[in-house]
Amino acid sequence: MTINPVAQIEAPERNEHSTHEFAGKVVVISGGSSGIGLGIALHLGRQDANVVILGRKPEKLEEAAQAIADAGGTTAGYSVDVRDSERLDATLEDIQARFGAIDLVVAAAAGNFFTPAERISPNGFKTVIDIDLIGTFNLFSLALPRLRKPGASLIAISAPQAQRAMPLQAHACTAKAGIDMLVKCLALEWGVHGVRVNAVSPGPIAGTEGLARLSASPEIERQVLRNTALRRFGETAHIANAVAFLASDKAEYVTGTILDCDGGMRLGNLDLL
């Protein structure tokens, strides 16, 4: 199977002598054309990384790739669904051939909708599991032979739903709980290769599709804020900073960890305070 990027752009003013920690590093981000994934891609692009984004829609990939290049990163975008293991494998093979061994993989692709459990169809439940949980496993397991060893880092994007049951979210809670345990299992097994596996668990992040769905009305939005300890929404930059920390040398002895970056959303119901 021949795979080519839908977009590949060199940074317009590439700094060959950059002192950024991620300069020249090869970063692969699924779900990288929007939301949290794009926020991470832009942050690492500004640090002169080679950022490769994966997504399903070519037009969104092209737009996101241009934004990453404008931020300073060399970038490529590949149209691929993380549920399609054959195409994903070929995509990672092409990435390694073009950029070299992969230093960081971020699994940020996700699917979700809000429905009472009795109304979720078997196919709807399976779709969220397939994108979130199985998609994360596909990306990490297929990337393993292409990673820089030792030293590579794998980071999944989880959610407070992994720890805290939420109404209308049986499928997402199940998928994210599976991701948290997958991270721990892979960290346990792959540490021998010098590969670290961690996760970041974001709370309600402004400007993302997830928050738009979660806060479908002003009243629901106020309720979300009431049940977040810091009483404010986060930003994609907060998650990007958490990912950058876990992927950095500062966290070189950290693996199998779920880093909560949720403003305290996971802590429980605050309505009584």
Tens-binned pLDDT, residue by residue, of the chain (273 aa) = 889 999 888 765 556 678 899 999 999 999 999 999 999 999 999 999 999 999 999 999 999 999 999 988 889 999 999 999 999 999 999 999 999 999 999 999 999 888 999 999 999 999 999 999 999 999 999 999 999 999 999 999 999 999 989 889 999 999 999 999 999 999 999 999 999 999 999 999 987 877 666 666 677 778 888 888 999 999 999 999 999 999 999 999 999 999 999 999 888 766 655
Distance CA 10, CA 230 (A): 40
What is the reported pLDDT for 136? 98
With H, G, I as helix, E, B as strand and everything else as coil, classify residue 103. Answer: coil
- Of the candidates 78, 180, 60, 82, the one whose C-alpha atom is nearest the C-alpha of residue 131 is 82
Closest CA to 44 of 1, 11, 81, 4: 11
Question: 């920390």: which residue's tokens?
Answer: 245
Closest CA to 153 of 107, 118, 114, 110: 107
What is the CA angle 152-147-241, rounded to 5?
35
Q: Does the 7-261 domain belong in CATH 3.40.50.720?
A: yes
Check residue 28 and give its pLDDT: 98
Element (H, E) at 156: strand 153-157
Round to whole Å and give the CA distance between 81 and 28. Answer: 14
pLDDT of amino acid 269: 66
Q: What are the extents of the domains in the chain?
A: 7-261
Whole-number pLDDT of residue 221: 78
Whole-model pTM: value is 0.94
Q: Which is nearest to 68 in space by CA: 82, 92, 47, 97? A: 47
Q: What is the pLDDT of residue 227?
A: 83
Per-residue pLDDT at 218: 77
Using DSSP's 3-state secondary structure scheme, residue 47 falls into coil
| pLDDT, position 14 | 58
The answer to whether 106 touches 37, Cβ cutoff 8 Å, is yes
In DSSP terms, which residues pair with 4 in a beta bridge? none
Q: Are 27 and 104 in contact (CB under 8 A)?
A: yes
